[in-house]
Amino acid sequence: MTLDLDHFKRELEAERERLESARTAVDHEGSLLEESGDISIGQGDHLADSATETFMRELDEGLEENAENLLAEVEAALGRIEDGTYGICAACGKPIAAERLEAVPYATLCIDDKRAQERL
């Protein structure tokens, strides 16, 4: 069975655009300290408000980091399409099932090797 590389390239490019948009949506230039000059709570501020803001910032930073990691995987998959290794399991060298690539187009492992990795 031959993979439709053009199809997967389009899928990966669409995923790259989605991830870049998501990363931009949560992008924060500076920390709370850099933005405000102070992270102390003022007289009119509530501790819960400050905690909520801190939590939301940390959540955004986690989302941004996840998007960056996935972007790196997408870029690597596009590179594998270009160099002719896309769809080949990095562990065993066998083809990765098209169904798996439809679900995770940047997959580097066949389902058997991915399951084995997760058991470790």
Domain membership flag for residue 38 = no
- What mean pLDDT is reported for the chain? 83
Query: Domain range holding 97?
Result: 5-27+47-119
Domain membership flag for residue 66 = yes
pLDDT band of residue 63 (cuts 50, 70, 90) is confident
Domain membership flag for residue 94 = yes
pTM, to two decimals: 0.71
User: Does residue 41 contact residue 50 with C-beta atoms inside 8 Å?
Assistant: yes
Region 13-34: what's the mean pLDDT? 74
Q: How many other β-carbons are positioned within 10 Å of the β-carbon of residue 86? A: 23
Tens-place pLDDT, residues 40-58: 545 556 667 677 777 667 7
Q: How far apart are CA 90 and CA 42, in angstroms?
A: 54
Domain membership flag for residue 32 = no
For residue 57, the domain's CATH number is 1.20.120.910
Q: How many domains does the chain have?
A: 1
